[in-house]
Amino acid sequence: MMDIEWSGWAVASAEIIALVVIGTGLLQIGFYIVQLGFAGLSLAQRPPVVRSSQLWQRYAEQAPPIAVLAPAFNEEVTIVESVNSLLALHYPDFEVIVINDGSKDGTLARLLGHFGLERVDRYHDLTVQHQPIRGLYASPRLPRLLVVDKENGGKSDALNAGINVARSPLFCSIDADSLLESDALIRAVRPFVEEPEKMVAVGGTIRLANGSHIAAGRVTSVRLPTNFLALVQIMEYLRAFLMARLALSRMQVLTVISGAFGLFRRRLALEVGGYSHGTVGEDMELVVKLHRHMRDLKQEYRIEFIPEPVCWTEAPEDLTILGRQRSRWQRGALETFAKHRDMLFNPRYGRIGFIGFGQVMIVDVMGPVVEVVGYALVPLLWAVGLLAVEYLLAFLAITFTFGIFVSVATLILEEFELRRFPRASDLIILTAVAIVENFGYRQLSNLWRIWGMFQFFRKKQGWGTMTRKGFTSAEPSPPART
């Protein structure tokens, strides 16, 4: 410890900063404990339906038609496998609309050649704005498939074109590089059938396919990846979906439905103007707009997350690409928060203004800054004698211990209710990852989020390049335990 004379104001300032850092951390921890409780309660009161055949018996006759919107930009590597996966979905009435958003590679050519599509005419609305459509393509052999070729405008622009072309009362937005499980739609539509007057949107679970066996556009056997970054992201996705979104849905303050898999009522999406342009957080922004719209109309509504329907996607296994993705996510959250900041703690918007936006402010706006400042400042203050060692130890112990506790508790929820990981060794590996990630990866992740904040203040636009390996096909293997 250094022996330095400090004035009274410096000591007071240092103590205040340290207390703000520790207090904000404790506030986050308290909110995570509440989330764990609500997530467990939700799974206990609404357990997953194991057999999709039961869902067919209950909901097939009442299930409304769905348009599955798959925007594609430079997806040449995975597009055919993804579309095959979508066409094989088990749902009574659905249409797959692939929107080629001005790809510069061979995405459109692969679609037209592989599926034998020809140019067709079809009337479509222009209710929400998007870049011009260059052509529509279909085939009598595949009546469920329609390809929209349009000029490049970004993901939100492509989804708006899909909403205009769609005719179904519900649309499902997905990423073209993702794989939906065959029963994902019948599981996701369940809340719309049970509460047709109130339901606005439903989100499903996103899981990582890295390492798993895939054949004919299906995940046939769940396996853990050998890449450490992919393993850590599996834990992150479990926490994000099985804890946070399940709990926020239970509280009716869900502000995010992943762009990789969400089900929306088309009429309401049109009423709020579809997806907004000029943001990389268009999925979050649409959900917040729907909250605002329904609150302004003073209508009862529900926006839910249910854990059973699964969409598989590919996680980055490279630090550069992962960092680019995380800074973009942070930028998207801040863009939405800034655009709708008048909802924060505004009684007009009820629990979504207080709890939903309060959570965004604590976790997304303040969280990365406070944690990075804490890592840098608290040990420094202790070194110069301005912080009691008890504060330092309390901060480090609570931060790391609780980070591990949340991850392990999420794994327990997963194993008790969903059981997607077939072997005990998988759970042991993930538990070890939940411990190791707190030392190095967690700090790096916060730096990426700080970089995203810097990009937000610099008003950076665009997604950046995302290189994909493509799903690795494999010989059929024994099915995963479900």
Contact between 364 and 329 (Cβ < 8 Å): no
pTM: 0.87
Mean pLDDT (whole number) for 63-71? 95
Reported confidence tier of residue 467, pLDDT bands at 50, 70, 90: low
Instruction: Kindly give the pairing relationship between strand 213-215 and strand 218-221.
Output: antiparallel
pLDDT digits (tens, 9 = 90+) for 393-421: 777 777 778 778 888 888 887 777 667 77
pLDDT at 23: 75
pLDDT at 482: 28
What gap in Å lies between CA 58 and CA 424, rounded to an integer? 34
Contact between 201 and 249 (Cβ < 8 Å): no
pLDDT digits (tens, 9 = 90+) for 88-107: 999 999 999 999 999 999 99
Instruction: Kindly give the pairing relationship between strand 170-174 and strand 179-180.
Output: unpaired
Is a pLDDT exceeding 70 seen at residue 470?
no
Average pLDDT value for the chain: 85
What gap in Å lies between CA 263 and CA 168, rounded to an integer? 12
Contact between 117 and 145 (Cβ < 8 Å): yes
